[in-house]
Structure 1
Protein backbone atom coordinates (compact mmCIF):
# COMPACT_ATOMS: atom_id res chain seq x y z
CA UNK A 1 0.00 0.00 0.00
CA UNK A 2 3.01 2.32 0.15
CA UNK A 3 2.78 3.35 -3.55
CA UNK A 4 -0.90 4.17 -3.08
CA UNK A 5 -0.06 6.22 0.01
CA UNK A 6 2.54 8.25 -1.88
CA UNK A 7 0.15 8.79 -4.79
CA UNK A 8 -2.64 9.91 -2.46
CA UNK A 9 -0.35 12.30 -0.59
CA UNK A 10 0.83 13.80 -3.88
CA UNK A 11 -2.74 14.23 -5.10
CA UNK A 12 -3.86 15.82 -1.84
CA UNK A 13 -0.98 18.32 -1.79
CA UNK A 14 -1.55 19.24 -5.43
CA UNK A 15 -5.27 19.83 -4.90
CA UNK A 16 -4.73 21.84 -1.71
CA UNK A 17 -2.27 24.30 -3.20
CA UNK A 18 -1.41 24.68 -6.88
CA UNK A 19 -4.70 23.32 -8.24
CA UNK A 20 -6.84 25.36 -5.83
CA UNK A 21 -4.78 28.50 -6.45
CA UNK A 22 -4.99 28.07 -10.22
CA UNK A 23 -8.74 27.42 -10.11
CA UNK A 24 -9.30 30.51 -7.93
CA UNK A 25 -7.39 32.65 -10.45
CA UNK A 26 -8.99 31.18 -13.58
CA UNK A 27 -11.33 33.25 -15.74
CA UNK A 28 -13.35 30.46 -17.33
CA UNK A 29 -15.60 29.97 -14.25
CA UNK A 30 -17.26 33.28 -15.18
CA UNK A 31 -18.74 31.46 -18.16
CA UNK A 32 -19.85 28.34 -16.27
CA UNK A 33 -20.28 29.03 -12.55
CA UNK A 34 -22.33 25.87 -12.01
CA UNK A 35 -19.61 23.67 -13.47
CA UNK A 36 -16.96 25.54 -11.52
CA UNK A 37 -18.88 25.05 -8.27
CA UNK A 38 -19.11 21.31 -8.93
CA UNK A 39 -15.38 21.25 -9.65
CA UNK A 40 -14.59 23.15 -6.46
CA UNK A 41 -16.63 20.71 -4.39
CA UNK A 42 -14.80 17.83 -6.04
CA UNK A 43 -11.43 19.47 -5.31
CA UNK A 44 -12.31 19.92 -1.64
CA UNK A 45 -13.72 16.42 -1.18
CA UNK A 46 -10.97 14.69 -3.15
CA UNK A 47 -8.27 16.69 -1.38
CA UNK A 48 -9.57 15.71 2.04
CA UNK A 49 -9.95 12.06 1.07
CA UNK A 50 -6.47 11.95 -0.45
CA UNK A 51 -4.69 13.55 2.50
CA UNK A 52 -6.50 11.44 5.09
CA UNK A 53 -6.21 8.31 2.96
CA UNK A 54 -2.46 8.78 2.52
CA UNK A 55 -1.85 8.65 6.25
CA UNK A 56 -4.27 5.78 6.72
CA UNK A 57 -2.82 3.57 4.00
CA UNK A 58 0.76 4.23 5.12
CA UNK A 59 -0.04 3.63 8.77
CA UNK A 60 -1.90 0.36 8.16
CA UNK A 61 0.35 -0.97 5.37
CA UNK A 62 2.03 -3.63 7.57
CA UNK A 63 -1.36 -5.20 8.36
CA UNK A 64 -2.43 -6.20 4.85
CA UNK A 65 -2.04 -5.95 1.11
CA UNK A 66 -5.06 -3.65 0.78
CA UNK A 67 -6.77 -1.12 3.00
CA UNK A 68 -9.93 -3.22 3.52
CA UNK A 69 -7.76 -6.20 4.49
CA UNK A 70 -5.66 -4.07 6.83
CA UNK A 71 -8.73 -2.62 8.49
CA UNK A 72 -10.09 -6.16 8.95
CA UNK A 73 -6.83 -7.25 10.57
CA UNK A 74 -6.91 -4.24 12.87
CA UNK A 75 -10.49 -5.04 13.83
CA UNK A 76 -9.51 -8.63 14.65
CA UNK A 77 -6.75 -7.41 16.95
CA UNK A 78 -9.12 -4.93 18.56
CA UNK A 79 -11.65 -7.71 19.14
CA UNK A 80 -8.97 -9.72 20.97
CA UNK A 81 -7.81 -6.58 22.76
CA UNK A 82 -4.35 -6.99 21.30
CA UNK A 83 -2.08 -4.31 19.86
CA UNK A 84 -0.74 -5.13 16.37
CA UNK A 85 2.98 -5.67 16.88
CA UNK A 86 3.68 -5.05 13.19
CA UNK A 87 2.89 -1.35 13.54
CA UNK A 88 6.16 0.55 14.03
CA UNK A 89 6.90 4.10 15.11
CA UNK A 90 6.54 5.56 11.61
CA UNK A 91 3.16 3.91 11.16
CA UNK A 92 1.96 5.17 14.53
CA UNK A 93 3.08 8.71 13.69
CA UNK A 94 1.27 8.54 10.35
CA UNK A 95 -1.94 7.33 12.00
CA UNK A 96 -1.66 9.99 14.71
CA UNK A 97 -1.16 12.72 12.09
CA UNK A 98 -4.18 11.43 10.17
CA UNK A 99 -6.30 11.50 13.31
CA UNK A 100 -5.17 15.06 14.12
CA UNK A 101 -5.92 16.25 10.57
CA UNK A 102 -9.35 14.59 10.56
CA UNK A 103 -10.16 16.09 13.96
CA UNK A 104 -9.10 19.54 12.79
CA UNK A 105 -11.11 19.34 9.56
CA UNK A 106 -14.25 18.09 11.31
CA UNK A 107 -13.72 20.34 14.33
CA UNK A 108 -13.35 23.51 12.26
CA UNK A 109 -16.37 22.54 10.15
CA UNK A 110 -18.44 21.81 13.24
CA UNK A 111 -17.39 25.08 14.91
CA UNK A 112 -18.12 27.13 11.78
CA UNK A 113 -21.51 25.44 11.44
CA UNK A 114 -22.41 26.05 15.08
CA UNK A 115 -21.40 29.71 14.89
CA UNK A 116 -23.31 30.21 11.65
CA UNK A 117 -26.47 28.58 12.98
CA UNK A 118 -26.27 30.60 16.20
CA UNK A 119 -25.82 33.87 14.29
CA UNK A 120 -28.69 32.99 11.95
CA UNK A 121 -30.96 32.19 14.87
CA UNK A 122 -30.24 35.57 16.50
CA UNK A 123 -30.71 37.33 13.16
CA UNK A 124 -33.98 35.50 12.49
CA UNK A 125 -35.31 36.40 15.95
CA UNK A 126 -34.50 40.06 15.33
CA UNK A 127 -36.19 39.97 11.94
CA UNK A 128 -39.31 38.44 13.42
CA UNK A 129 -39.50 41.39 15.81
CA UNK A 130 -38.36 44.25 13.57
CA UNK A 131 -39.65 43.22 10.13
CA UNK A 132 -43.22 42.72 9.01
CA UNK A 133 -44.55 39.99 6.71
CA UNK A 134 -44.83 41.02 3.08
CA UNK A 135 -48.26 40.10 1.70
CA UNK A 136 -46.90 39.98 -1.85
CA UNK A 137 -44.69 36.98 -1.11
CA UNK A 138 -45.01 34.19 1.43
CA UNK A 139 -42.02 33.96 3.76
CA UNK A 140 -40.69 37.40 2.81
CA UNK A 141 -40.43 40.28 5.25
CA UNK A 142 -40.18 44.02 4.89
CA UNK A 143 -37.66 45.92 6.98
CA UNK A 144 -38.45 49.54 7.87
CA UNK A 145 -35.23 51.07 6.58
CA UNK A 146 -34.72 53.89 4.05
CA UNK A 147 -31.70 52.33 2.32
CA UNK A 148 -32.36 49.84 -0.51
CA UNK A 149 -31.47 46.53 1.09
CA UNK A 150 -32.22 42.98 -0.02
CA UNK A 151 -30.81 39.72 1.31
CA UNK A 152 -31.76 36.23 2.38
CA UNK A 153 -31.28 34.29 5.58
CA UNK A 154 -30.96 30.60 4.60
CA UNK A 155 -31.87 27.58 6.66
CA UNK A 156 -34.85 25.42 7.51
CA UNK A 157 -36.72 28.56 8.58
CA UNK A 158 -35.41 30.80 5.84
CA UNK A 159 -36.22 34.47 5.49
CA UNK A 160 -36.15 36.73 2.45
CA UNK A 161 -35.83 40.39 3.44
CA UNK A 162 -36.37 43.57 1.49
CA UNK A 163 -36.32 47.06 2.92
CA UNK A 164 -38.91 49.77 2.41
CA UNK A 165 -36.15 51.70 0.67
CA UNK A 166 -35.74 48.88 -1.84
CA UNK A 167 -39.47 48.70 -2.51
CA UNK A 168 -39.58 52.42 -3.25
CA UNK A 169 -36.28 52.67 -5.16
CA UNK A 170 -36.57 49.65 -7.43
CA UNK A 171 -38.76 49.33 -10.47
CA UNK A 172 -41.00 46.30 -10.82
CA UNK A 173 -38.45 44.57 -13.08
CA UNK A 174 -35.54 45.38 -10.78
CA UNK A 175 -37.44 44.09 -7.76
CA UNK A 176 -38.24 40.89 -9.67
CA UNK A 177 -34.51 40.48 -10.40
CA UNK A 178 -33.65 40.93 -6.72
CA UNK A 179 -36.23 38.38 -5.64
CA UNK A 180 -35.15 35.87 -8.29
CA UNK A 181 -31.54 36.24 -7.17
CA UNK A 182 -32.43 35.66 -3.52
CA UNK A 183 -34.73 32.73 -4.24
CA UNK A 184 -31.91 31.10 -6.21
CA UNK A 185 -29.69 31.31 -3.12
CA UNK A 186 -32.39 29.76 -0.95
CA UNK A 187 -33.57 27.11 -3.42
CA UNK A 188 -30.07 25.88 -4.31
CA UNK A 189 -28.83 26.16 -0.70
CA UNK A 190 -25.74 28.13 -1.59
CA UNK A 191 -25.01 28.54 2.09
CA UNK A 192 -24.25 24.81 2.27
CA UNK A 193 -22.00 25.14 -0.77
CA UNK A 194 -19.92 27.90 0.82
CA UNK A 195 -19.72 26.57 4.39
CA UNK A 196 -17.30 23.63 3.80
CA UNK A 197 -14.86 26.02 2.13
CA UNK A 198 -14.96 28.27 5.17
CA UNK A 199 -13.69 25.26 7.13
CA UNK A 200 -11.32 24.25 4.31
CA UNK A 201 -9.64 27.66 4.40
CA UNK A 202 -9.63 27.93 8.19
CA UNK A 203 -8.00 24.50 8.54
CA UNK A 204 -4.80 25.70 6.86
CA UNK A 205 -4.99 29.49 6.32
CA UNK A 206 -1.29 29.58 5.54
CA UNK A 207 -1.88 27.58 2.33
CA UNK A 208 -2.78 30.17 -0.36
CA UNK A 209 -4.94 27.85 -2.45
CA UNK A 210 -7.06 26.73 0.48
CA UNK A 211 -7.40 30.29 1.78
CA UNK A 212 -8.58 31.59 -1.62
CA UNK A 213 -11.12 28.82 -2.13
CA UNK A 214 -13.75 30.43 0.11
CA UNK A 215 -13.64 33.75 -1.76
CA UNK A 216 -13.74 32.02 -5.14
CA UNK A 217 -16.74 29.86 -4.20
CA UNK A 218 -18.58 32.83 -2.65
CA UNK A 219 -18.11 34.77 -5.90
CA UNK A 220 -19.34 31.82 -7.96
CA UNK A 221 -22.59 31.44 -6.04
CA UNK A 222 -23.27 35.12 -6.69
CA UNK A 223 -22.63 34.56 -10.41
CA UNK A 224 -24.95 31.58 -10.40
CA UNK A 225 -27.72 33.56 -8.69
CA UNK A 226 -27.13 36.44 -11.13
CA UNK A 227 -27.58 34.05 -14.05
CA UNK A 228 -30.90 32.85 -12.61
CA UNK A 229 -32.06 36.44 -12.09
CA UNK A 230 -30.94 37.47 -15.60
CA UNK A 231 -32.83 34.57 -17.16
CA UNK A 232 -35.93 35.44 -15.15
CA UNK A 233 -36.03 39.25 -15.17
CA UNK A 234 -33.59 40.30 -17.88
CA UNK A 235 -30.12 41.76 -17.98
CA UNK A 236 -31.16 45.43 -17.77
CA UNK A 237 -33.33 44.87 -14.71
CA UNK A 238 -30.59 42.95 -12.91
CA UNK A 239 -27.96 45.57 -13.75
CA UNK A 240 -30.23 48.33 -12.47
CA UNK A 241 -30.87 46.44 -9.24
CA UNK A 242 -27.15 45.88 -8.76
CA UNK A 243 -26.43 49.59 -9.12
CA UNK A 244 -29.19 50.62 -6.72
CA UNK A 245 -28.81 47.99 -4.04
CA UNK A 246 -25.16 47.01 -4.34
CA UNK A 247 -23.62 49.33 -1.77
CA UNK A 248 -26.44 49.29 0.75
CA UNK A 249 -26.09 45.81 2.30
CA UNK A 250 -25.09 45.86 5.94
CA UNK A 251 -25.84 42.32 7.11
CA UNK A 252 -22.92 40.11 8.11
CA UNK A 253 -22.04 37.57 5.43
CA UNK A 254 -21.16 35.11 8.14
CA UNK A 255 -24.80 35.02 9.20
CA UNK A 256 -26.47 35.50 5.83
CA UNK A 257 -25.79 34.99 2.19
CA UNK A 258 -25.87 38.64 1.17
CA UNK A 259 -27.07 39.27 -2.34
CA UNK A 260 -25.84 42.47 -3.86
CA UNK A 261 -22.80 42.91 -1.68
CA UNK A 262 -19.18 42.27 -2.66
CA UNK A 263 -17.60 42.89 -6.03
CA UNK A 264 -20.60 44.68 -7.51
CA UNK A 265 -18.37 46.27 -10.12
CA UNK A 266 -17.08 42.89 -11.26
CA UNK A 267 -20.60 41.50 -11.47
CA UNK A 268 -21.74 44.47 -13.54
CA UNK A 269 -18.77 44.00 -15.86
CA UNK A 270 -19.71 40.35 -16.26
CA UNK A 271 -23.29 41.31 -17.17
CA UNK A 272 -22.09 43.85 -19.72
CA UNK A 273 -19.63 41.41 -21.26
CA UNK A 274 -22.33 38.72 -21.28
CA UNK A 275 -19.88 35.82 -21.57
CA UNK A 276 -20.91 33.06 -23.93
CA UNK A 277 -21.89 29.76 -22.39
CA UNK A 278 -19.29 27.03 -22.96
CA UNK A 279 -20.13 24.30 -25.42
CA UNK A 280 -21.84 21.12 -24.28
CA UNK A 281 -18.56 19.28 -24.73
CA UNK A 282 -16.71 21.66 -22.42
CA UNK A 283 -19.47 21.56 -19.82
CA UNK A 284 -19.55 17.77 -19.93
CA UNK A 285 -15.76 17.63 -19.60
CA UNK A 286 -15.89 19.89 -16.53
CA UNK A 287 -18.44 17.70 -14.82
CA UNK A 288 -16.65 14.49 -15.73
CA UNK A 289 -13.46 15.96 -14.31
CA UNK A 290 -15.28 16.65 -11.05
CA UNK A 291 -16.53 13.06 -10.90
CA UNK A 292 -13.07 11.70 -11.72
CA UNK A 293 -11.43 13.78 -9.01
CA UNK A 294 -13.62 12.19 -6.35
CA UNK A 295 -13.43 8.73 -7.90
CA UNK A 296 -9.61 8.57 -8.01
CA UNK A 297 -8.90 8.74 -4.24
CA UNK A 298 -12.01 6.68 -3.47
CA UNK A 299 -10.90 3.83 -5.76
CA UNK A 300 -7.34 4.14 -4.53
CA UNK A 301 -8.51 3.62 -0.97
CA UNK A 302 -10.74 0.68 -1.83
CA UNK A 303 -8.34 -1.08 -4.17
CA UNK A 304 -4.94 -0.24 -2.66
Structure 2
Protein backbone atom coordinates (compact mmCIF):
# COMPACT_ATOMS: atom_id res chain seq x y z
CA UNK A 1 0.00 0.00 0.00
CA UNK A 2 2.85 2.38 0.83
CA UNK A 3 4.43 1.79 -2.57
CA UNK A 4 1.13 2.56 -4.27
CA UNK A 5 0.77 5.84 -2.39
CA UNK A 6 4.35 6.89 -3.13
CA UNK A 7 3.98 6.14 -6.83
CA UNK A 8 0.67 8.01 -6.99
CA UNK A 9 2.19 11.00 -5.22
CA UNK A 10 5.14 10.96 -7.61
CA UNK A 11 2.74 10.94 -10.54
CA UNK A 12 0.78 13.94 -9.26
CA UNK A 13 3.80 15.88 -8.00
CA UNK A 14 5.69 15.19 -11.21
CA UNK A 15 2.87 16.44 -13.38
CA UNK A 16 2.41 19.63 -11.34
CA UNK A 17 5.72 20.47 -9.64
CA UNK A 18 8.43 19.08 -11.91
CA UNK A 19 8.10 21.84 -14.54
CA UNK A 20 9.04 24.49 -11.98
CA UNK A 21 11.96 22.44 -10.69
CA UNK A 22 13.30 21.64 -14.15
CA UNK A 23 13.09 25.25 -15.27
CA UNK A 24 15.33 26.16 -12.33
CA UNK A 25 18.11 23.99 -13.72
CA UNK A 26 20.51 26.80 -14.60
CA UNK A 27 22.77 24.46 -16.54
CA UNK A 28 20.13 23.49 -19.13
CA UNK A 29 21.28 26.03 -21.74
CA UNK A 30 24.88 24.92 -21.24
CA UNK A 31 24.03 21.26 -21.90
CA UNK A 32 20.90 21.12 -24.07
CA UNK A 33 21.32 17.43 -24.87
CA UNK A 34 21.18 16.48 -21.19
CA UNK A 35 18.34 18.89 -20.58
CA UNK A 36 16.28 17.30 -23.37
CA UNK A 37 16.90 13.88 -21.87
CA UNK A 38 15.81 15.17 -18.46
CA UNK A 39 12.56 16.69 -19.75
CA UNK A 40 11.60 13.58 -21.73
CA UNK A 41 12.55 11.31 -18.81
CA UNK A 42 10.32 13.40 -16.54
CA UNK A 43 7.45 13.08 -19.02
CA UNK A 44 7.91 9.32 -19.21
CA UNK A 45 8.10 8.86 -15.46
CA UNK A 46 4.61 10.31 -14.87
CA UNK A 47 2.53 7.78 -16.87
CA UNK A 48 4.86 4.95 -15.84
CA UNK A 49 4.33 5.85 -12.18
CA UNK A 50 0.57 5.92 -12.70
CA UNK A 51 0.56 2.48 -14.34
CA UNK A 52 2.85 0.99 -11.70
CA UNK A 53 0.71 2.46 -8.91
CA UNK A 54 -2.34 0.72 -10.34
CA UNK A 55 -0.37 -2.51 -10.72
CA UNK A 56 1.00 -2.30 -7.17
CA UNK A 57 -2.49 -1.73 -5.79
CA UNK A 58 -3.96 -4.67 -7.71
CA UNK A 59 -1.21 -7.28 -7.36
CA UNK A 60 0.22 -7.96 -3.88
CA UNK A 61 3.97 -8.07 -3.48
CA UNK A 62 4.05 -11.71 -2.38
CA UNK A 63 2.22 -12.75 -5.55
CA UNK A 64 4.86 -11.00 -7.66
CA UNK A 65 7.66 -12.50 -5.62
CA UNK A 66 6.35 -16.01 -5.91
CA UNK A 67 5.82 -15.40 -9.62
CA UNK A 68 9.44 -14.49 -10.03
CA UNK A 69 10.35 -17.75 -8.37
CA UNK A 70 8.11 -19.72 -10.67
CA UNK A 71 5.30 -18.85 -13.09
CA UNK A 72 3.25 -21.78 -11.94
CA UNK A 73 3.17 -20.43 -8.42
CA UNK A 74 1.72 -17.12 -9.48
CA UNK A 75 -1.08 -18.89 -11.29
CA UNK A 76 -1.80 -20.95 -8.23
CA UNK A 77 -1.72 -17.87 -5.99
CA UNK A 78 -4.00 -15.84 -8.21
CA UNK A 79 -6.61 -18.51 -8.77
CA UNK A 80 -6.56 -20.11 -5.33
CA UNK A 81 -9.69 -19.89 -3.30
CA UNK A 82 -8.32 -17.38 -0.80
CA UNK A 83 -6.95 -15.06 -3.51
CA UNK A 84 -9.86 -15.17 -5.92
CA UNK A 85 -11.24 -11.72 -4.93
CA UNK A 86 -7.98 -10.14 -6.12
CA UNK A 87 -8.51 -11.43 -9.65
CA UNK A 88 -11.02 -8.67 -10.40
CA UNK A 89 -8.50 -6.04 -9.34
CA UNK A 90 -5.81 -7.63 -11.48
CA UNK A 91 -8.07 -7.60 -14.52
CA UNK A 92 -9.09 -4.01 -13.82
CA UNK A 93 -5.44 -3.00 -13.55
CA UNK A 94 -4.64 -4.71 -16.84
CA UNK A 95 -7.58 -2.98 -18.50
CA UNK A 96 -6.48 0.42 -17.17
CA UNK A 97 -2.89 -0.14 -18.25
CA UNK A 98 -3.98 -1.27 -21.70
CA UNK A 99 -6.21 1.76 -22.17
CA UNK A 100 -3.40 4.15 -21.17
CA UNK A 101 -0.92 2.46 -23.52
CA UNK A 102 -3.41 2.45 -26.39
CA UNK A 103 -4.29 6.11 -25.77
CA UNK A 104 -0.62 7.09 -25.80
CA UNK A 105 0.06 5.01 -28.90
CA UNK A 106 -2.85 6.66 -30.72
CA UNK A 107 -1.60 10.11 -29.77
CA UNK A 108 1.92 9.26 -30.91
CA UNK A 109 0.64 7.78 -34.15
CA UNK A 110 -1.45 10.88 -34.84
CA UNK A 111 1.57 13.13 -34.26
CA UNK A 112 3.87 11.10 -36.51
CA UNK A 113 1.35 10.60 -39.29
CA UNK A 114 0.28 14.26 -39.25
CA UNK A 115 3.86 15.51 -39.38
CA UNK A 116 4.75 13.08 -42.14
CA UNK A 117 1.81 14.20 -44.26
CA UNK A 118 2.70 17.85 -43.75
CA UNK A 119 6.32 17.19 -44.70
CA UNK A 120 5.24 15.23 -47.77
CA UNK A 121 3.04 18.10 -48.96
CA UNK A 122 5.82 20.61 -48.43
CA UNK A 123 8.41 18.38 -50.10
CA UNK A 124 6.16 18.08 -53.13
CA UNK A 125 5.93 21.87 -53.36
CA UNK A 126 9.70 22.17 -52.98
CA UNK A 127 10.25 19.72 -55.84
CA UNK A 128 8.39 22.15 -58.08
CA UNK A 129 9.68 25.46 -56.74
CA UNK A 130 13.19 24.67 -55.55
CA UNK A 131 16.46 23.78 -57.21
CA UNK A 132 19.29 21.80 -55.67
CA UNK A 133 22.58 23.66 -55.27
CA UNK A 134 25.42 21.16 -55.16
CA UNK A 135 27.86 23.78 -53.88
CA UNK A 136 25.68 24.61 -50.89
CA UNK A 137 24.33 21.09 -50.46
CA UNK A 138 20.87 22.56 -50.02
CA UNK A 139 17.67 23.28 -51.87
CA UNK A 140 17.32 26.90 -52.98
CA UNK A 141 13.86 28.44 -53.27
CA UNK A 142 13.17 31.74 -55.05
CA UNK A 143 11.52 33.80 -52.31
CA UNK A 144 12.17 37.28 -50.94
CA UNK A 145 11.61 36.27 -47.31
CA UNK A 146 14.82 35.39 -45.53
CA UNK A 147 14.39 31.76 -44.50
CA UNK A 148 16.62 28.80 -43.73
CA UNK A 149 15.11 25.57 -42.50
CA UNK A 150 15.18 21.82 -42.93
CA UNK A 151 12.52 19.29 -43.84
CA UNK A 152 13.30 16.23 -41.68
CA UNK A 153 12.41 12.61 -42.21
CA UNK A 154 13.50 10.15 -44.86
CA UNK A 155 15.38 12.03 -47.55
CA UNK A 156 15.46 15.16 -45.40
CA UNK A 157 17.07 18.24 -46.86
CA UNK A 158 18.16 21.74 -45.89
CA UNK A 159 16.35 24.63 -47.58
CA UNK A 160 17.35 28.27 -48.01
CA UNK A 161 15.64 31.09 -49.85
CA UNK A 162 17.22 33.50 -52.32
CA UNK A 163 16.27 36.31 -49.92
CA UNK A 164 18.48 34.72 -47.27
CA UNK A 165 21.32 34.18 -49.73
CA UNK A 166 21.25 37.85 -50.73
CA UNK A 167 21.38 39.06 -47.13
CA UNK A 168 23.96 36.62 -45.73
CA UNK A 169 27.67 36.45 -46.34
CA UNK A 170 29.00 33.09 -47.64
CA UNK A 171 30.47 32.14 -44.25
CA UNK A 172 27.15 32.93 -42.58
CA UNK A 173 25.30 30.78 -45.09
CA UNK A 174 27.68 27.90 -44.34
CA UNK A 175 27.11 28.31 -40.59
CA UNK A 176 23.32 28.39 -40.81
CA UNK A 177 23.20 25.39 -43.15
CA UNK A 178 25.41 23.50 -40.69
CA UNK A 179 22.74 24.26 -38.08
CA UNK A 180 20.05 22.75 -40.31
CA UNK A 181 22.12 19.66 -41.08
CA UNK A 182 22.62 19.17 -37.35
CA UNK A 183 18.83 18.92 -37.04
CA UNK A 184 18.73 16.32 -39.79
CA UNK A 185 21.61 14.18 -38.53
CA UNK A 186 20.38 14.33 -34.94
CA UNK A 187 16.81 13.43 -35.93
CA UNK A 188 15.56 16.22 -33.73
CA UNK A 189 12.09 15.92 -35.21
CA UNK A 190 11.68 12.65 -33.30
CA UNK A 191 12.46 14.42 -30.01
CA UNK A 192 9.86 17.04 -30.85
CA UNK A 193 7.38 14.29 -31.78
CA UNK A 194 7.92 12.59 -28.41
CA UNK A 195 7.25 15.81 -26.50
CA UNK A 196 4.25 16.57 -28.71
CA UNK A 197 2.85 13.08 -28.06
CA UNK A 198 2.80 13.61 -24.29
CA UNK A 199 1.20 17.04 -24.69
CA UNK A 200 -1.44 15.80 -27.10
CA UNK A 201 -2.30 12.73 -25.02
CA UNK A 202 -2.80 14.82 -21.86
CA UNK A 203 -3.13 18.46 -22.92
CA UNK A 204 -3.97 19.78 -19.44
CA UNK A 205 -0.91 18.38 -17.67
CA UNK A 206 1.51 21.27 -16.97
CA UNK A 207 4.62 19.10 -17.26
CA UNK A 208 3.78 17.96 -20.79
CA UNK A 209 2.93 21.46 -22.01
CA UNK A 210 6.18 22.85 -20.58
CA UNK A 211 8.20 19.96 -21.99
CA UNK A 212 6.89 20.58 -25.51
CA UNK A 213 8.01 24.21 -25.40
CA UNK A 214 11.34 23.46 -23.73
CA UNK A 215 12.30 20.63 -26.05
CA UNK A 216 11.52 22.84 -29.08
CA UNK A 217 13.83 25.50 -27.63
CA UNK A 218 16.58 23.12 -26.58
CA UNK A 219 16.87 21.36 -29.94
CA UNK A 220 17.69 24.75 -31.47
CA UNK A 221 20.42 25.30 -28.89
CA UNK A 222 21.74 21.81 -29.55
CA UNK A 223 21.90 22.43 -33.30
CA UNK A 224 23.68 25.73 -32.64
CA UNK A 225 26.31 23.94 -30.57
CA UNK A 226 26.89 21.34 -33.30
CA UNK A 227 27.25 24.06 -35.95
CA UNK A 228 29.61 26.05 -33.70
CA UNK A 229 32.07 23.14 -33.66
CA UNK A 230 33.02 23.86 -37.29
CA UNK A 231 32.03 27.50 -37.76
CA UNK A 232 32.79 30.62 -35.72
CA UNK A 233 30.02 31.55 -33.33
CA UNK A 234 30.05 35.14 -34.60
CA UNK A 235 29.08 33.95 -38.09
CA UNK A 236 26.13 31.96 -36.79
CA UNK A 237 25.04 34.84 -34.54
CA UNK A 238 25.17 37.28 -37.46
CA UNK A 239 23.08 34.90 -39.57
CA UNK A 240 20.52 34.58 -36.79
CA UNK A 241 20.18 38.37 -36.62
CA UNK A 242 19.15 38.46 -40.28
CA UNK A 243 16.92 35.38 -40.07
CA UNK A 244 15.25 36.17 -36.74
CA UNK A 245 11.93 37.23 -38.26
CA UNK A 246 11.64 34.21 -40.57
CA UNK A 247 8.99 31.59 -39.87
CA UNK A 248 9.65 28.03 -40.93
CA UNK A 249 6.79 26.06 -42.51
CA UNK A 250 4.83 23.57 -40.44
CA UNK A 251 6.65 20.29 -39.68
CA UNK A 252 9.99 21.94 -40.52
CA UNK A 253 12.80 23.11 -38.24
CA UNK A 254 13.96 26.67 -38.92
CA UNK A 255 17.02 28.69 -37.98
CA UNK A 256 15.02 31.79 -37.05
CA UNK A 257 11.94 32.07 -34.88
CA UNK A 258 11.08 33.17 -31.37
CA UNK A 259 14.26 31.83 -29.76
CA UNK A 260 16.62 33.70 -32.09
CA UNK A 261 17.39 36.56 -29.67
CA UNK A 262 18.30 34.19 -26.83
CA UNK A 263 20.45 32.14 -29.17
CA UNK A 264 22.27 35.20 -30.50
CA UNK A 265 23.22 36.19 -26.96
CA UNK A 266 24.26 32.64 -26.21
CA UNK A 267 26.48 32.47 -29.30
CA UNK A 268 28.18 35.79 -28.52
CA UNK A 269 28.62 35.06 -24.80
CA UNK A 270 29.36 31.33 -24.55
CA UNK A 271 29.25 29.78 -21.10
CA UNK A 272 31.70 27.16 -19.82
CA UNK A 273 30.72 23.50 -20.22
CA UNK A 274 29.35 21.55 -17.32
CA UNK A 275 31.71 20.39 -14.65
CA UNK A 276 32.01 16.81 -13.47
CA UNK A 277 29.61 17.28 -10.56
CA UNK A 278 26.98 18.91 -12.75
CA UNK A 279 27.23 16.16 -15.34
CA UNK A 280 26.96 13.54 -12.62
CA UNK A 281 23.94 15.28 -11.08
CA UNK A 282 22.22 15.53 -14.46
CA UNK A 283 22.87 11.89 -15.27
CA UNK A 284 21.68 10.80 -11.84
CA UNK A 285 18.48 12.82 -12.24
CA UNK A 286 17.69 11.20 -15.58
CA UNK A 287 18.44 7.75 -14.14
CA UNK A 288 16.18 8.31 -11.13
CA UNK A 289 13.35 9.59 -13.29
CA UNK A 290 13.58 6.58 -15.60
CA UNK A 291 14.40 3.78 -13.17
CA UNK A 292 13.07 5.11 -9.87
CA UNK A 293 9.36 4.22 -10.30
CA UNK A 294 10.13 0.74 -11.63
CA UNK A 295 12.61 0.05 -8.83
CA UNK A 296 10.12 1.21 -6.21
CA UNK A 297 7.32 -0.89 -7.68
CA UNK A 298 9.56 -3.96 -7.86
CA UNK A 299 10.77 -3.65 -4.26
CA UNK A 300 7.87 -5.53 -2.60
CA UNK A 301 8.06 -8.35 -5.13
CA UNK A 302 11.82 -8.66 -4.74
CA UNK A 303 11.45 -8.67 -0.97
CA UNK A 304 8.89 -11.47 -1.22
CA UNK A 305 11.19 -13.36 -3.60
CA UNK A 306 14.11 -13.12 -1.18
CA UNK A 307 11.90 -14.17 1.71
CA UNK A 308 10.66 -17.13 -0.31
CA UNK A 309 14.17 -18.34 -1.13
CA UNK A 310 15.43 -17.77 2.40
CA UNK A 311 12.52 -19.75 3.71
CA UNK A 312 13.24 -22.54 1.22
CA UNK A 313 16.94 -22.68 2.08
CA UNK A 314 16.64 -21.98 5.80
CA UNK A 315 13.26 -23.40 6.87
CA UNK A 316 13.73 -22.41 10.53
Structure number with bigger Rg: 2
> Which whole-Å CA distance do the structure 1 matches of 2:42 and 2:9 have between them?
14
Q: Does 1:298 align with 2:294?
A: yes
Q: 1:74 to 1:94 in 2, by over 3 A?
A: farther
**Cα displacement string for residues 127-163 of structure 1 (whole angstroms, at most 9, x for unaligned residues):** 122211111144x211111222110111121111111
> Which whole-Å CA distance do the structure 1 matches of 2:169 and 2:260 have between them?
19
Q: Give the equivalent residue in structure 2 for 1:7.
A: 6
Please show how residues 119-138 of structure 1 align to structure 2 within 5 Å. 119-138=118-137
Q: Does 1:46 align with 2:42?
A: no
> Which whole-Å CA distance do the structure 2 matches of 1:73 and 1:134 have between them?
66
- SS of equivalent to 2:200: helix
**Cα displacement string for residues 183-224 of structure 1 (whole angstroms, at most 9, x for unaligned residues):** 111111111111111111122222222211100111111111
Q: Does 1:200 align with 2:213?
A: no
> Which whole-Å CA distance do the structure 1 matches of 2:183 and 2:239 have between them?
16
Q: Is the 8 A contact 2:151 2:252 kept in 1?
A: yes
TM-score of the aligned structures, taking structure 2 as reference length: 0.83
Q: Give the equivalent residue in structure 1 for 2:310.
A: none
- Cα deviation for residue 86 of structure 1 reads 2.6
Q: 1:293 to 1:149 in 2, by over 3 A?
A: same
Aligned length: 295
Q: Does 1:276 align with 2:272?
A: yes
Q: 1:298 to 1:90 in 2, by over 3 A?
A: closer
Q: 1:70 to 1:3 in 2, by over 3 A?
A: farther
Please show how residues 165-244 of structure 1 align to structure 2 within 5 Å. 165-244=163-242
Q: Which runs of 5+ in 2 are unaligned?
A: 302-316
Q: 1:247 to 1:72 in 2, by over 3 A?
A: farther
- SS of equivalent to 1:161: strand
**Cα displacement string for residues 32-72 of structure 1 (whole angstroms, at most 9, x for unaligned residues):** 21221121222122223222221122223388144955995
**Cα displacement string for residues 10-34 of structure 1 (whole angstroms, at most 9, x for unaligned residues):** 2222322211332145433112212
Q: Which runs of 5+ in 1 are unaligned?
A: none
- Cα deviation for residue 251 of structure 1 reads 0.9
